[in-house]
Structure formats: C-alpha cells, structure tokens
Structure 1
C-alpha cells in the first residue's frame, strides 16, 4: 500500500512516524501500512430512518444493513443469478409451493447465539406477522417450519416464481438474533430497539449509531465465512456530493460511492479511478393522463426530439445507455429493443400543424442534481422542433401525489430502482394500474393481463416474451417512456478493489465484506 491511498489524517500520522523512523532508526517501517489500513471511510448522503432490516426502505444504507444482517440467499455480484448465504442449498417442490433450505454450519449471531432453523423461523414470522414496512415481501408465505435443527421449510399460498428473488433482494427478509428479539420485544416486536441497534450474522457488527452524524461498523471476528479486510467501516453523513468529492480529494474518505459529477468523470485527479457496473437504475418518463402527449401525433414528434441517442453522452458520458425497454437490461434484454422515431422534419411539421405546444417536465427535488441536466437537454431538443418546454422541480414527496394533482407536469421523469431483479418486481411496482409507484395511476388492461400471466411462468424465455410485449404496449399507448439506463459508478483511490457491486442495490452500495486494498 502507498501512503497516497490512505485517508488524510492517517497520511499525516504515517509520515510523522516514518520521519521518526528515519531520524531515530529504531522502528521497523514495514509494520505501518498494516496498522494504517484498519479503517475504511465511506460517506453516505442520506441518513438512516432505521437500522431495522424489516422496517425501513433504506437506499444509501443498504450496504451497511446487508453487511450486518444476512438472508437465506443473495444475488451474485454483477448478475441476476442467486446463490446461498445463510442457506447452503435449497429445493423447490414440483408444485412450486414448498421451498426447503439447508442452513450453513457454524454461523453465530453477533451476540453469540447459534444460527439454527428456529432462529430463521422467528425472524420470518416477525416480518410476516408484524405491521412493518417490508412485510409485503412475504405476502404469499403461508407457513414456515423448522423441520430439523438445520432445515427450514417455507410453504406458499400459490406458486410464485419470483419468490427466490424476493428472498435475494437487498430489502428481503434477514435473520435477526432470537435472543435479541426476545429480550427487547416489548409491545412493538423490538421495532423501537432495532431502529438503532442490531444483532445479525454478517461480517460486520454495528458499533455506533449516531443519527445525523454517522455510523461505525466493526469486523465480526467469529464470522463463519471469509473474514473482511477492514477492521472498521466508518460511515460519516455527508449530504452534499461536493463535500464528498472534496473529502475524497483530500483523502479524508476513501470513495464517492454515487453521484460523482458526470462531467468530471472523464478527467479525474491523479490517484483516483472508477469502478463501474451495470445497475437497475432506469430513467423513465410517466405521462400525465390529459397531457398533449396523449395525442399520438404530438407524442411521435415529442419522442423524435427527446431521443436519448442525441443527449445521453452529454448527460452521463460513457455511463449512460439508451433504454431498450421498460426493464433494465440486466433484468430483461429484449428481443426487439425500443426504437425512437428519427424524422425531425416530420416532427417539426406536426408541431406547426397542431399550433403552439407547451409542455412541462417534472423532476423531484431529491433528484434535481442527478436529472436536472437531463431536463435541460430535453428542453433544448424540444425547442429545436418548436415545442416550448420547461422543467419544474417538485417539492419533496410531491411525485407520490401526482395521480391526484390536476396541475402536475405533462411528463414526470424519475430514476427508478426496483426491489429485486425479477421483471415482476419492475412491472408490479411501476407500471400496472394499481402499482404503488405508478405516479399517475394509469392502467392498460391488456398489458396488465400479460404481466399477470408472465408472473406465473417458470420458463424464462416464455416469461420474458410476455413482459416484453407488455412493455411495448405501455410505450405505444403513451403511458410510459423509458429513456436511459445509468451505470453504478464509484470513484475511489487507485488500488481499492473488489467492491462486489450488485445490480439490485441502489447505486453506490459497496460490499464491505469483500472490498480491500490490492496486494
């Protein structure tokens, strides 16, 4: 390791020590790099609502929760494949209703409690039976049983091919120490205690929870798996990306996990580099029901002007890619990718024939930094064909009230991430009529029916064909417009490796258990 890879305060300390070594000739300098690489400092932009793995839809804090707690299975980094975590293997019954998991040997919770089947049962029952935010992951679970000390059997109410994806999701069910649950159950099933405390099985344990300031994880030395490289993970709260960038450049933190300014990625300061991976972050436009964009001819002209091929590089450099469908490519790579119209003369003529056209493009204040450039580029492209467009920034949370807001923007654009990598998790969350994040609440019965049918299929090719057809119908009927897929991009010092980025995670969630300094 070189001095330049270390946080600034450790550099200063190390240089002082090395100077003393040279002057006194008494200390072996070779021992210092090992001592100086104990801490990894990774800023988080948004504070924790809760550290309870069953009761918070954290985004920046996903990596912390998933390194303290573990589920039965997880996604393979960079893939939609699923592998075991606390389960070594599993079987599914022929009727698709019974899932049997064999547990790892030798795992313990951070309080020393052994991991066994009854512990898994207690955790799954807590999530299933409590009024917790993430209980919906187990909506179809009818029964959970410990058939022996190391075997858990889950019985569903109906076949659900996406069930393993729900278990592998970073927000999926985790296993909590039954001792901690019992000791702190109170009247809320330990919800208040687990807001700021944690007892899981992961490679790290929660050492300090200082809301509004930052958090500290410490390596769990009795972890059953491969030991983590760093002794301590420090997670200072830094809401402004400019502060994160400055702290990285002064070596006070070891990465900017997400939202590093796109325009600056092509010319990083010496000593910094990029780790990137495909993600499920997809920028999508939601069309207001009574917008001029519901007119097919106007929409055709609009699509011609906002074709992402014309502006994606300006917005995201090499890390943005025109969307192929309403699904992230790592989830579903369509046989027939989306194609935008390209006849600009026809688009100009349509606008001239239809008379003055004015449109508003909405962006939430939470995404203004990330998507403001997108809005500005689209406005410029629309002006070229004669459409007067403006960008409006919506107050925090206002996007979720758009279906009841007659004055909402003609198109709302958001950068969306599903909670698992099965296409059902994309369609049922964003596109079907009653989907919770279908911002305008619009529905298309024939497309919704295809989504419902696809959700029952286990044949991947047959399933994906139906999801792709539903995507085509939603787009052609003017409900949604997929725009750009955005890569997961982490900026960090040279030599920091093995981030194990997972597409199902919100961008910037590094696997603390795998990241290390290269030899």
Structure 2
C-alpha cells in the first residue's frame, strides 16, 4: 500500500538492486518495432492487478486490463468502458451493468457477464491477497447474470463506493483462463488481460515487456485515441536509483521515467526533458500508529506527535509539484476539505500533552516514563525515497523529547515486519480518487489495518455510515467527520501530499495520467 511515491499502496515499499541489467534491458530498437522504454523505480513484484497494491505493479497492470467503467480525471465522473450503462438502486445495494458486445480478452474469449462475474468473485476469493479488492467487494452477497450482456451485483448493506471501484486497476478484467491459475502463477506473469497491451515477458527485479493488441477497439470514454495502440512495444526496466534514471533519460537510453525525484527535476528540465505531474488522489503520505505499541496505544501520545511536526518545513525536500499535507486526504481527492488547523505546528501543546501522559523530560532530552524512554520505531523499506522527510520529522520530534528511530529494512524483512505489526509507525499513502479510501486503511475490519486496532471505534461507525450514503451533501459531511476523527485520534499523522511526477523525452508525446495519476501509454506516440 503505497510509500515514497504512493505508499506502495499498502505501505510495503519494494526493494530492488540496481545492476547493469537495468540499463541492458533498454533495447536499442535496432531491429523490430520501436519500443517505448520506461523506467520503474522498484520491482513490480507481482503483476496480477487483482492482488498487487504496489505502485509499480499497477503502472504495468493499468496497460493490461480494461474495466467496467472509467473515471474522468478532470471531473471525477464515472463514465462507460466495458459497461455501456448501469443503474444503482436507491439504497446502493444493487448495481446492474449492461456490457458492450464486441470486447474480448487477448486469448479471444468474449468479455461477457459470466467473465465479469468471475473476476469479482476472484477478488472476494483472494481475501487478504487482494487488500484493495476485498474492500471493494465487502458485503457482496450475490452476482446475477440475467443474460450474456447483463450482470447485477447485490450487497448485504449499502455500498456507495462500489461504482467508483469498478474503474480501479484492481478490478481490471482478466480472462477466465487466467483466473483458473494460482495466485502465485499470476504474480509472475501468467496473465491474459482485456486492455490494449499483452504481457510478453516478466523478469523479476529486471524488466517487463508488453506488446500492443492489433484487435483492440474498446477504449474508455476518457481516451482520445482509438483503435490499436500506436506504439507496438512497451519495455519496462527496473532502475531503483533516481540518478541512474535521470541520466538514462538525458542520454536517450530510456524514454520515460515514471518516478522523477525532486533533486533531478532541474537537470532534466535543463536538458529539454518534459517533466509533468499530477497530484495523487487518496490518502497522503501518512505516519500510521500501531495501537498495540506500548507508547502509541495512548491517543495523547499520538496527538503529541502530530502537534510536534512542522509540516511547512517538510517542503524543503519536496518536488516543486508537491506540498506538505493539509489533511489526511490529498487536495485532488473528491471530498477533500482543508484541515490545516488540525495539523498546525504546536510544540508547546505537544510538550504539555506528553507531560500529562506521564512522559517527562529525561537528562539526555529524551522523555521517560517508569524508566522507559519514549523511543518509537518507524519501519520502512531500505529503498524508500522519502527518507529525507523522515529525517526532518526525526529532528522535529527530538525537539519535544521523542526519540524516533528510523529502521530501513530489505524487502522481505520490511514486509514481514509490517505484516506482523513489528513497528511503532509505518508510513503509507494509498491512491484512490474517492473518499472511501479512508475505509481501506482506517477501518478495524480492513485487510490492511496498519493501526492494528482490534476493537471497533467511532471511526468505524463513521466509515460504515459513509459507505451507505450516496446523497452528496451528507456524504461530504461524513467524509469531513471521518477525516477529522483519524487526525484527532492520532490514527493518521499526515506528512506530505505526493504527486506523480513523470519525465519524458522530446521524442514522445501522448502520455497522460488517469484519475489515479497513473501513466497511460495507450495513446503514446513517437514524434515523426
């Protein structure tokens, strides 16, 4: 669940070693069709869009699958894709979709109602292997297939977020033959999709190669291109070092860097490289407190940490396209409200709260209670690109007597620590252009539950109510209450509002960012 760029969707940031193979994977296009060479900042790890919550895997997966619906990145409106029309019951418990009749998977099988039903049943059956998908289909009671072009979903309780969820990469449509294979096989590339590109090869920690479908003719309503993709091959290469990606882009060894870092922007612009960006909707880059932590089980300590952070100071290490957080939701998220007042810097208030909680200043400046120092561990991946933000936060917390220990871990150890709750803090960001993203992270019943809460709380009541409301003004009120509640209780300690920042060579045009700020290469083309 997405970290330095998004928090890799569930917070587990991926690691990959940069080797010569990273550059070697970029073909010189001397023979065969010209490839669009794209750099990823980490290994996708799992290419199955139904399972993987990681930024890089979803960058690849977005090219492979079509969805029931699309979402307009400008207006947030849900518009047709595979579904030509739909109806939603007044109580948001039944969703009926009518499908187009000309779309197929890349193996030639039709995208019909039975195939759509199988995809959503797969999300439910994957369970915790699909943390996002499981939240999207929560409460799904049945799927009915009146005919080959009609599919109807029935939920036990109102599920207002479901329509928007049908536009997310995680609900992208895979062929029945793929769904019959094991989750492990699908992670390593056994995929038959419904989108404009086909997966040819995936080499973990190195590359993924895709080719265009000559028969593709069902783009989403927001697409400006029609027919088969203009570019015949996409070559994704794993390059974990931002400087290596920047250099490769300037020397034309790659055409696209999907994750331009702040320190490289001026050099790229000076070299004539186009750098464009879009704020990521959803949950901002946020410290998430472990409720099982001896110190952080106290909301007063969590609130003190929040007040000890000077967010404007974090801007010094951010991209010019990014900003410090003003809420737990980014400003690009439908339902966002500025909660800067709740995040105001207040070191004196933080000190007072810690004193009242029994954490008193020790001789070395670190607060102590009953002989135990106020030491908190922030666990993250060793490849994390936001470590400079962490270092500033570490310095700020030290001013009020909190010892924040930064604990970078290799991929496996990081995943294990986060899965086992072996941390005081983790840092996630989760991309979704809908306020229901709050449910994915902060519900005690969510598959992720980084707060490790075991007992329902007020936030659960608010999120449950939000999930059943479609009326705009009431939905906005509940979104506001939920966002304030997670900040007030210290479940979320927002830091920075991240953006997708993409660099492209002058020879490439037509790349756009979708409603989730993921790059789309369907309409990309080389300059003549």
1:124-273 correspondence runs (5 A): 124-129=120-125, 133-134=129-130, 136=134, 137-176=136-175, 178=176, 180=177, 185=180, 192=185, 195-225=188-218, 226=226, 227-258=228-259, 260-268=260-268, 269-273=270-274
Q: Give the aligned partner of residue 373 of structure 1.
A: 388
Q: Which moved more, 1:76-85 or 1:161-170?
A: 76-85
Task: Please say if residues 65 and 172 of structure 2, whose CA atoms lie closer than 8 Å, have aligned partners that are also in contact.
Answer: no
Q: Give the aligned partner of residue 332 of structure 2.
A: 330
2 CA distance for matches of 1:46 and 1:248? 17
2 CA distance for matches of 1:368 and 1:213? 16
- What secondary structure, in the 3-state scheme, does the structure 2 residue paired with 1:396 have? helix
**Over aligned residue pairs, what C-alpha RMSD do you find?**
3.5
1:41-120 correspondence runs (5 A): 41-77=37-73, 80-120=76-116
1:274 aligns with 2:286: no
Which protein has greater RCO, CA pairs closer than 8 Å, 6+ apart? 2
1 CA distance for matches of 2:348 and 2:94? 59
2 CA distance for matches of 1:228 and 1:391? 44
1:109-155 superposed Cα distances (whole Å, 9 cap, x missing partner): 22233333333334444444567833624343333333233222222
Q: Give the aligned partner of residue 457 of structure 1.
A: 469
1:290 aligns with 2:294: yes
- What secondary structure, in the 3-state scheme, does the structure 1 residue paired with 2:386 have? helix
Task: Please say if residues 379 and 406 of structure 2, whose CA atoms lie closer than 8 Å, have aligned partners that are also in contact.
Answer: no
Tell me how far 1:385 sits from its aligned partner. 5.5
Q: Give the aligned partner of residue 20 of structure 1.
A: none
2 CA distance for matches of 1:371 and 1:174? 33
TM-score by length of 1: 0.79
Q: Give the aligned partner of residue 19 of structure 1.
A: none
Q: 1:305 to 1:160 in 2, by over 3 A?
A: closer
Q: Give the aligned partner of residue 519 of structure 2.
A: 510
Q: Give the aligned partner of residue 17 of structure 1.
A: none
Tell me how far 1:388 sits from its aligned partner. 5.3
1 CA distance for matches of 2:375 and 2:440? 25
Match of 1:438 among 444, 449, 469: 449
- What secondary structure, in the 3-state scheme, does the structure 2 residue paired with 1:205 have? strand
Q: 1:431 to 1:199 in 2, by over 3 A?
A: closer
Match of 1:355 among 344, 358, 361: 361
2 CA distance for matches of 1:51 and 1:244? 22
2 CA distance for matches of 1:125 and 1:474? 31
Q: Which moved more, 1:127-136 or 1:56-65?
A: 127-136
- What secondary structure, in the 3-state scheme, does the structure 2 residue paired with 1:43 have? strand
1:263-287 superposed Cα distances (whole Å, 9 cap, x missing partner): 2323434121211001036121233
Match of 1:340 among 333, 339, 343: 343
Tell me how far 1:479 sits from its aligned partner. 3.2
Task: Please say if residues 70 and 202 of structure 1, whose CA atoms lie closer than 8 Å, have aligned partners that are also in contact.
Answer: yes
Task: Please say if residues 308 and 400 of structure 2, whose CA atoms lie closer than 8 Å, have aligned partners that are also in contact.
Answer: yes
Q: 1:36 to 1:151 in 2, by over 3 A?
A: same
Tell me how far 1:350 sits from its aligned partner. 8.2
1 CA distance for matches of 2:191 and 2:349? 60
Q: Give the aligned partner of residue 429 of structure 2.
A: 416
2 CA distance for matches of 1:340 and 1:67? 38
1:487-502 correspondence runs (5 A): 487-494=499-506, 496-502=508-514
1 CA distance for matches of 2:305 and 2:109? 60
1:484 aligns with 2:496: yes
Q: 1:200 to 1:302 in 2, by over 3 A?
A: closer
2 CA distance for matches of 1:149 and 1:350? 61
Tell me how far 1:196 sits from its aligned partner. 2.5
Tell me how far 1:330 sits from its aligned partner. 2.5
Q: Which moved more, 1:430-439 or 1:195-204?
A: 430-439
| Greater radius of gyration (CA) | 1
Tell me how far 1:215 sits from its aligned partner. 1.9
Q: Give the aligned partner of residue 313 of structure 1.
A: 315
1:425-482 superposed Cα distances (whole Å, 9 cap, x missing partner): 32x2322334443334246722322222222111122122123223323322333311
2 CA distance for matches of 1:301 and 1:87? 48
Task: Please say if residues 287 and 479 of structure 1, whose CA atoms lie closer than 8 Å, have aligned partners that are also in contact.
Answer: yes
Task: Please say if residues 304 and 341 of structure 1, whose CA atoms lie closer than 8 Å, have aligned partners that are also in contact.
Answer: yes
Tell me how far 1:82 sits from its aligned partner. 2.0
Tell me how far 1:333 sits from its aligned partner. 1.4
Q: 1:112 to 1:119 in 2, by over 3 A?
A: same
- What secondary structure, in the 3-state scheme, does the structure 1 residue paired with 2:320 have? helix
Q: 1:210 to 1:441 in 2, by over 3 A?
A: closer
Tell me how far 1:366 sits from its aligned partner. 1.7
Task: Please say if residues 255 and 493 of structure 1, whose CA atoms lie closer than 8 Å, have aligned partners that are also in contact.
Answer: yes
Task: Please say if residues 325 and 497 of structure 2, whose CA atoms lie closer than 8 Å, have aligned partners that are also in contact.
Answer: yes
Which blocks of at least 5 consecutive residues in structure 2 are unaligned? 1-24, 219-225, 368-373
Tell me how far 1:175 sits from its aligned partner. 3.9
Task: Please say if residues 284 and 497 of structure 2, whose CA atoms lie closer than 8 Å, have aligned partners that are also in contact.
Answer: yes
Tell me how far 1:342 sits from its aligned partner. 4.4
Q: Give the aligned partner of residue 483 of structure 2.
A: 471
Q: 1:206 to 1:266 in 2, by over 3 A?
A: same
